[in-house]
C-alpha cells in the first residue's frame, strides 16, 4: 500500500510527539515501580533494567522510518 506524500509528511511530523508521550508514560510507570517499597532495592533495580531493555524495542521509543512500513508502525503504536 502506497502512502501519499502528504500523509508521509504528517506521519514524520507527529511521530516525535507520539514517541515523547509514550516515553512520558513509561517514565511514570518506572517511577511508580521504583517507589514500591514492598520489594527489595536489588529486585526493583534488575526488574527495571529488564523493562527498559524490552521497552527500548517498542516503536514508541525507536522506529526506523520507512515509507513502506508506516501502516505497520501505526498499528504497533
What are the residue ranges spanned by the domains of the chain? 5-76
With a cut of 80, say whether residue 77 has pLDDT above it.
no
HEC profile for the chain? CCCCHHHHHHHHHHHHHHHHHHHHHHHHHHHHHHCCCCCCHHHHHHHHHHHHHHHCCCCCCCCCCCHHHHHHHHHHC
Q: Which three cell numbers stand for residue 11?
A: 506521519
> pLDDT at position 70, please?
81
Integer Cα distance of 19 and 21 in angstroms: 5
Rounded mean pLDDT of the chain?
90
With a cut of 70, say whether residue 23 has pLDDT above it.
yes
> Looking at per-residue confidence, does 64 or 17 come out higher?
17
Amino acid at each position: 500500500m502506497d502512502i501519499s506524500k502528504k500523509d508521509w509528511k504528517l506521519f514524520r511530523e507527529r511521530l516525535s510527539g507520539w514517541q515523547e508521550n509514550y516515553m512520558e508514560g513509561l517514565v511514570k510507570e518506572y517511577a511508580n515501580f521504583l517507589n514500591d517499597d514492598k520489594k527489595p532495592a536489588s529486585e526493583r533495580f534488575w526488574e527495571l533494567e529488564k523493562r527498559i531493555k524490552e521497552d527500548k524495542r517498542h516503536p514508541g521509543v525507536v522506529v526506523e522510518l520507512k515509507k513502506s512500513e508506516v501502516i505497520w508502525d501505526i498499528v504497533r503504536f
